[in-house]
Structure 1
């Protein structure tokens, strides 16, 4: 009988149910009986003990379950935008104002009892927001009430608040006479905001990141590197060997990683010479679907990749393309941390209890010898596509499909659509923005035949291509 380290006690006939529960927790982090869909919690609780053990051993994550919710607490090796918050109605990512309001609202709810009026909540929120420079709250200021509505809707969607009377829209239209009454789920509110360390003890945002173990044996360091490798595959669209340290790169190449993650998630691992990725063959384990049915941004991104592939494969053009050294992810991460730390309110730091911030970096080197590991790759280079070429490509797409194919929002704004499509491709680690253009990353070649799915042109010469579907939803 075959024994497995993952889902060790799960019968073969029940493995699909277990994997679905694991994917659900990884995708949403918080699961209740109504979020992300009715009855979701019932699919997780039967596997709570097995999932908790596997999350801890595989990824170093902590799964906490109660009869009312399940909460997955992650450990971060680097800062990135993959765990953003999005508005329920517009599906747009939360901006800084909304994120700040969300934290302040949760703090206010923590001091409340079992229910609260929206007007009372805002009265409590206002003085705290007004003490923060450049934040504040003014019901007459553009966007302030909209931000509060988005935060309240986000909490209602997850079950932390339950509307019992009134409406946020009534309050938004007339904040003096409109109101709404909410029941508060205090345990869920506490679960939603659960940092790994007290924020008052941090002198840098880097203190929230995992650090390599020190003063331990080689086996412990290898286990840590293996966890870091599995976290990278789970959390990122693709992992490039050249972007990792030697011990993590070695762990990424191990057959045990493929076996463990495949059994844990039910998904497929795809390897290439440059890296590794977890392929979502279910169509549901992702916050950014690509490629596939979607709005103008998603499909334009795919068409741009096709044009870039044609350019690279054209013997007459390929020789003229420049290649530049790929940016160092460690250096870029240092810059990101420095930018975030500029806004850190040091006046609130408890100096006596402050943790010393670790050296920032998405893959800090693990102490010890690496003589028997894969050595670091030489500096990688990537093809540069200049901004002028990208402008030509989007103009060709508008001419080929017709401006009306790109929805009312984008039909007169090709530059804006190009910017959003490139942003999507960068989020997926398929390209990298640099001054004057973009660098093409290796995984982009996976989509070089993406136009094979396009329909044939109609009699007027334009493709009957429907860009009118709603934009892809994000978490």
Structure 2
């Protein structure tokens, strides 16, 4: 008997799995984002999706009008999934701050607004916040504002009726843009599982509070955490998770459950497990075409070869299996003291459970000099696979390649170099084809 997609007929299963993957990939879906067809698929299977998402992962699916929002449980911080501008740049602190303010401001506007009006409202609020501010005469601050507005446009919260925010960016005195505001999309976008005004630290946003300590409840929560680990990350390494979660990751039922639910292939390795992304569950793919992806794959293969070469001196390094604790601490320290929730208030939440103690693992280590030498050799051996700009600035290409490998949990940057994660071995025997002159 199937545990998930229980009432889905065999001829509907592929469509259902496509809807489930879309929801896991895009937890916010509107009539325009990620495309016009996805919301229809979600609505078609809404009852079964809501049940399966809750039981499998502890997620809550909310559908309002032409908007679907999946309220996810995040067990740990993930620096590899930032908000991005239309040109692929990561949001900075200013963009995130403007985004929070703009969603609050839009809740107080009517069904239409203009980019000029939004800029004026943002200026009034941002200039009351020390260290933030907004000056529409400053091009960089104006760019951060337009990045935020464009992000809301892309997700269908704002629909352009006339004009362009890019034109306003270039000349705010001569141009404007008129927007229709999708209220359903707006209110679904920032719906939270917790009362944000009571949060005093990052850990209060992570994990799920368990109301009962009964064995059955704890076992159910461990199973949900195990399934979340596989759909939220390219790989789930055993060393990163507590024993109850690892027991589920090692078991057979989780493979059957997730293959049935997502249509992806479950793969076991000695150090962990993963879902082979043969249907683009993740926002980006690897391996793939393109100079950065080619460079990343070549660097990865060269690093693996270097480590197993008996004639080369290689090193290993001990380090924590998961580096999230330092990131949590850095984010907590960045919260202005005057905005932190008073712990003595009657409305204060229960303290978050302490983080699991770090497990120390040993990983192959390559220093920066080895990496640079190997990459220069790669550029010389595969000159036609990279453009003139890449040959002019090879270290910039190497940095972008390492960024990509780190996002897919294949390497990790450490002081003085990188370490290879276990999943890197999956690509060790990759054969790379040189481009000929006419390709």
TM-score by length of 1: 0.87
Q: Which residue of 2 aligns with 1:262?
A: 259
Deviation at 1:405, TM superposition (A): 4.5
Shift in Å, 1:67: 3.1
Shift of 1:312: 2.4
Question: How many angstroms apart in 2 are the aligned matches of 1:14 and 1:308?
Answer: 44
Alpha carbons 1:165, 1:182 under 8 Å: kept: yes
Name the SS for the 1:210 alignment partner: coil
Instruction: Report if the CA contact (8 A) 2:320-2:360 is conserved.
Output: no
> Cα offset for 1:211?
4.4
- Partner of 1:271: helix, strand, or coil? strand
- Secondary structure in structure 1 of the residue aligned to 2:234: coil
Cα contact 1:61–1:73 (8 A) shared by 2? yes
1:316 aligns with 2:311: yes
Q: Any residues of structure 2 matched to 1:67-78 within 5 Å, and which?
A: 67-78=65-76
Matched residue pairs, number?
Answer: 436
User: Once the 2 structures are TM-superposed, how far is the Cα of residue 298 of structure 1 from its aligned partner?
Assistant: 1.4
TM-score, structure 2 length as denominator?
Answer: 0.94
Q: 1:408-452: per-residue Cα shift (whole Å, max 9, x none)?
A: 5433221222122112111211111111111111110001122x2
For residues 13-51 of structure 1, give each alpha carbon's deviation from its aligned partner in whole angstroms, at most 9, with x where no partner exists.
Answer: 100000000001111111122211122211111100000
**1:285-364 equivalences in 2 (<5 Å):** 285-293=281-289, 295-317=290-312, 320-329=313-322, 332-351=323-342, 352=345, 353-361=347-355, 364=356
1:180 alignment counterpart: 177
Does 2:102 correspond to 1:113? no
SS in 2 for 1:181: strand
User: What is aligned with 1:79?
Assistant: 77
Residue by residue, what CA displacement relative to the aligned partner does 1:35-88 show, whole Å, maximum 9, x if unpaired? 111222111111000000000000000111133111111001101124321112
Kept in 2, the 8 Å contact 1:225–1:247? The answer is yes
| Offset from partner CA, 1:147-184 (integer Å, 9 cap, x none) | 22221121111111111122212211221231111111
Question: Which whole-Å CA distance do the structure 2 matches of 1:134 and 1:349 have between them?
Answer: 16
Cα distance in structure 1, aligned partners of 2:111 and 2:223: 44
Relative to structure 1, the CA distance from residue 360 to residue 411 in structure 2 (aligned partners, 3 Å threshold; closer, same or farther) is farther
Per the alignment, in what secondary structure is the counterpart of residue 320 of structure 2?
Answer: coil
Do residues 383 (structure 1) and 364 (structure 2) align? yes
How far apart in 1 are the matches of 2:187 and 2:354? 29
For residue 433 of structure 2, what is the aligned residue in structure 1? Answer: 454
Q: Which residue of 2 aligns with 1:28?
A: 26
CA distance 1:360–1:93, shift in 2 (3 Å): farther
Whether contact under 8 Å (1:401, 1:465) holds in the other structure is: no
Secondary structure of the residue that 2:160 maps to in structure 1? strand
CA positional deviation for 1:465 = 10
Tell me the C-alpha RMSD between the 2 structures. Answer: 2.0
2:227 to 230, 248, 252: 230
Q: Which moved more, 1:117-126 or 1:164-173?
A: 164-173
- Preserved contact between residue 200 and residue 341 of structure 2 (Cα < 8 Å): no
1: CA distance, partners of 2:117 / 2:27: 30
Q: Give the structure 1 partner of residue 411 of structure 2.
A: 431
**Contact residue 321 and residue 383 of structure 1 kept, 8 A:** yes
Q: Determine if contact 1:200/1:348 at 8 Å carries over to the other structure.
A: no
Match among 42, 53, 56 for residue 55 of structure 1: 53
Measure how far apart 1:389 and its partner are.
0.3
Deviation, 1:342, is 1.4
Q: What is the Cα deviation at residue 401 of structure 1?
A: 2.4
Residue 101 of structure 2 corresponds to: 104
Task: Go from structure 1 to structure 2 and tell me whether the alpha carbon gap of 1:160 and 1:408 turns closer, same or farther (over 3 Å shift).
Answer: farther
Contact 1:108 1:124 in 2 (8 A): yes
CA distance in 2, matches of 1:82, 1:169: 27
Q: Is 2:193 the partner of 1:202?
A: no
Secondary structure of 2:335's aligned partner: coil
Question: Which one of 119, 123, 127 corresponds to residue 122 of structure 1?
Answer: 119
Whether the aligned pair in 2 keeps the contact of 1:322 and 1:383 (CA below 8 Å) is: yes
Which aligned pairs between 1:367-406 and structure 2 lie closer than 5 A? 379-402=360-383, 405-406=385-386
